[in-house]
C-alpha cells in the first residue's frame, strides 16, 4: 500500500475524545466558515463529495480544502452563483505525547510513562457514505463544480466520490 499524506491521524483507532468541558487547552479549529457563497440563491444542481472510507480529517485540511474550493468557484463561476457548504465539523480532539529529540533528552522526559498526551488539534470523524461537502449550483456550471470538488479532494486526501443530484425535482 503506498504511503499517503496525513496518515498519522487518519485512522479511527481510538474512541472519540470530544468532551470539551473536561479537556483544557484545546486549540480552536482553523475552519471558521462552513457556508460560503449565495445563501439565498435558486440552484438546480447539487454536487456532493461523499466519503468511501471511514477516516479522520484534520481541521487544517478541511480549512485548506474550503479555501481552495471557494477561490476556484469565485474565480470561474462568480460569488453569487454558488453555495458551498462544509458538512463535517472537527469535534474529535487529537492528542500527542511530545518527545524531545536532541542530545541528553533522555534525562528530561519520561518516555511512555503517563503518556496520555496533550491536545494538539481537532479532527472530523467521517464514516463511509458521509457527505463531507456540497456545492449548490446551476446546471451550466457543473464542470466547474466537479473541478472544485476534485481540488477539494486533493487537499483532504481520502477516497471519496463526486455525486451529482438534481434539486429541481425535489421542489415540485
Asked if pLDDT for residue 147 goes beyond 90, the answer is yes
Give residue 94's domain range: 35-171
pLDDT digits (tens, 9 = 90+) for 38-47: 999 999 999 9
Tally of domains within the chain: 1
pLDDT at 112 over 60: yes
Q: Is the residue at 120 inside a domain?
A: yes
The reply to whether 140 falls in a domain is: yes
Query: CA-to-CA distance for 67 and 84, rounded, in angstroms?
Result: 11
Q: Which of 5-14, 58-67, 89-98, 99-108 ranks highest by mean pLDDT?
A: 58-67
Listed in sequence order, the residues at least 6 apart from 79 whose beta carbon sits closer than 8 Å to its beta carbon are 37, 38
Tell me, yes or no, whether 2 lies in a domain. no
Is 60 contained in some domain?
yes
Whether 126 is in a domain gets the answer yes
Q: Which residue has the cell 453569487?
A: 80
Asked if residue 156 has pLDDT above 60, the reply is yes
What 8-state DSSP symbol labels residue 66?
Answer: H
Q: Catalogue the E-assigned strands of 27-117.
A: 35-37, 45-51, 55-58, 82-86, 92-96
Classify residue 141: in a domain, yes or no: yes
Contact (Cβ atoms closer than 8 angstroms) between residue 31 and residue 123: no
Instruction: Please report which residue ranges of the chain form alpha helices under DSSP H.
Output: 59-76, 142-156, 168-171
Mean pLDDT along residues 101-109: 70
- Whichever domain contains 131, its CATH number is 3.90.1170.10
* CB neighbourhood size of 100 (10 A): 11
Amino acid at each position: 500500500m503506498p504511503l499517503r499524506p496525513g496518515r498519522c491521524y487518519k485512522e479511527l483507532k481510538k474512541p472519540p475524545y470530544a468532551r470539551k468541558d473536561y479537556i483544557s487547552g484545546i486549540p480552536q479549529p482553523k475552519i471558521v466558515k462552513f457556508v460560503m457563497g449565495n445563501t439565498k440563491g435558486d440552484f438546480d444542481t447539487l454536487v456532493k463529495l461523499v466519503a468511501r472510507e471511514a477516516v479522520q480529517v484534520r481541521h487544517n485540511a478541511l480549512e485548506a480544502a474550503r479555501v481552495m474550493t471557494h477561490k476556484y468557484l469565485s474565480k470561474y463561476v462568480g460569488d453569487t452563483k454558488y453555495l458551498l457548504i462544509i458538512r463535517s465539523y472537527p469535534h474529535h480532539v487529537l492528542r500527542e505525547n511530545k518527545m524531545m529529540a536532541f542530545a541528553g533528552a533522555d534525562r528530561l522526559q519520561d518516555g511512555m510513562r503517563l503518556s496520555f498526551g496533550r491536545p494538539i488539534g481537532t479532527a472530523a470523524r467521517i464514516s463511509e457514505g458521509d457527505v463531507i461537502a456540497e456545492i449548490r449550483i446551476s446546471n451550466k456550471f457543473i464542470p466547474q463544480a466537479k473541478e472544485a470538488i476534485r481540488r477539494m479532494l486533493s487537499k483532504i486526501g481520502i477516497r471519496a466520490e463526486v455525486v451529482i443530484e438534481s434539486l429541481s425535482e425535489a421542489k415540485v
